[in-house]
């Protein structure tokens, strides 16, 4: 079979001019090269070179292989370089999945220093998953999952990266704004704005309204945080969001936040990763950056 080694031999013979020098260059004996090419010649029934005086001259076939070698040898070398970069953790793709709408802003503050520190690691962020985010992680569709709901699984490790309070955002002039904390019944006459996910995954329902048997007057769905908060400012509804997120908008919008219940709703964001294979170095760095980014 035509092999990389043959191309190296041809290349060395062409550049040095003689088989003997080529052999020195490749740190083997002249005999080894003669034998190797002879075998190739027999395999394909072509002459690769022929003696001319005390040197050799490439035949048509030899020149063909030489040109071929000039084209593919650099490709091999490039692939080897990439392997070495992977070995040193200098190259890779970090595919991040997010199950947490408001986390996007926070994630950006982690990704930004990360891509500066690891210029050869590509970062991908996905938010849509055909078979759920956990499935995507297990099926190698993503390498890391950012979620407030760490569904336990044998092959997934979770690490909490920061804790925050889930609060109700209200217009600054709302009567709710002056309360020390909100009770479920306070929302019975309000319009509640949420992201477009099932109610079973919204803490405002699962941990606050549903246990108390209360429903909001209306339920509006809005996809983007910015629009959602503008609606709140315009007194078109109230929303439940991370406190840090609300605070980051308070210099732009006339809104206020109030704790949900006297006990407050406390949440954590988790990074989930597979434990099936050894994680590359840069993933550890990413986790470290994520932990330091608690303050937004």
Question: Would you tell me which residues interact with DNA (CB under 7 A)?
Answer: 5, 18-21, 23, 27-32, 34-39, 49-56
Residue 212 binding result from DNA, its own copies, none, given CB thresholds of 5 to 8 Å by partner type: none
| Residue from 211, 209, 267 nearest 238 by CA | 209
Q: Of 144, 129, 149, nearest to 267 (Cα)?
A: 149
Q: Are 148 and 268 in contact (CB under 8 A)?
A: yes
Give 59 or 250: the residue with its C-beta nearer to its own copies. 59
274: which 2 tokens? 């597979």
Cβ of residue 68: shortest distance to its own copies, in angstroms? Answer: 5
Partner that binds at residue 18, options DNA, its own copies, none, CB closer than 5 to 8 Å by kind:
DNA
| Shortest CB 274 distance to its own copies, Å | 10
In the chain, the largest separation of any two C-alpha atoms, in whole Å, equals 104
At its nearest, how many Å lie between its own copies and the CB of residue 290? 21
Q: Which is nearer to DNA, 51 or 116 (CB)?
A: 51
CB of 221 to DNA, least distance (A): 39
Shortest spacing between CB 97 and DNA, in angstroms: 22
**Binding site residues, its own copies, CB under 8 A:** 1-5, 44-47, 50, 52, 57, 59-61, 64-65, 68, 71-72, 75-76, 79-80, 82-84, 86-87, 91-93, 140, 276-278, 280
Q: Decide which of its own copies, DNA, none touches 86; Cβ closer than 5 to 8 Å per partner kind.
A: its own copies
């Amino acid at each position: 079979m035509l092999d990389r080694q043959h191309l190296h031999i041809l290349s060395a013979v062409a550049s040095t001019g003689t088989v003997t020098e080529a052999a020195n260059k490749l740190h083997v004996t002249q005999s080894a090269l003669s034998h190797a090419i002879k075998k190739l010649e027999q395999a394909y029934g072509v002459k690769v070179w022929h003696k001319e005086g005390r040197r050799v001259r490439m035949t048509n076939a030899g020149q063909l292989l030489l040109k071929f070698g000039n084209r593919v040898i650099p490709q091999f070398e490039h692939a080897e370089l990439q392997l070495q970069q992977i070995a040193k953790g200098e190259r890779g793709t970090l595919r991040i999945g997010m199950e947490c709408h408001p986390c996007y802003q926070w994630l950006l503050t982690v990704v930004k220093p990360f891509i500066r520190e690891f210029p050869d690691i590509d970062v991908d962020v996905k938010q849509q998953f055909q078979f759920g985010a956990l499935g995507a992680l297990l099926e190698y569709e993503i390498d890391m999952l950012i979620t407030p709901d760490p569904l336990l699984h044998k092959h997934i490790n979770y690490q909490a990266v920061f804790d925050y309070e889930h609060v109700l955002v209200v217009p600054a002039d709302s009567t709710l704004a002056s309360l020390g904390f909100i009770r479920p019944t306070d929302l019975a006459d309000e319009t509640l704005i949420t992201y477009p996910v099932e109610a079973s995954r919204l803490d405002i329902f699962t941990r606050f309204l549903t246990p108390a048997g209360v429903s909001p007057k209306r339920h509006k769905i809005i996809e983007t945080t910015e629009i959602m908060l503008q609606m709140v400012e315009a007194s078109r509804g109230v929303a439940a969001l991370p406190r840090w997120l609300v605070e980051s908008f308070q210099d732009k919008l006339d809104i206020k936040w109030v704790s949900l219940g006297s006990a407050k709703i406390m949440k954590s964001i988790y990074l989930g990763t597979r434990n099936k294979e050894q994680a590359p170095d840069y993933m550890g760095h990413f986790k470290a950056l994520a932990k330091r980014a608690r303050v937004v």
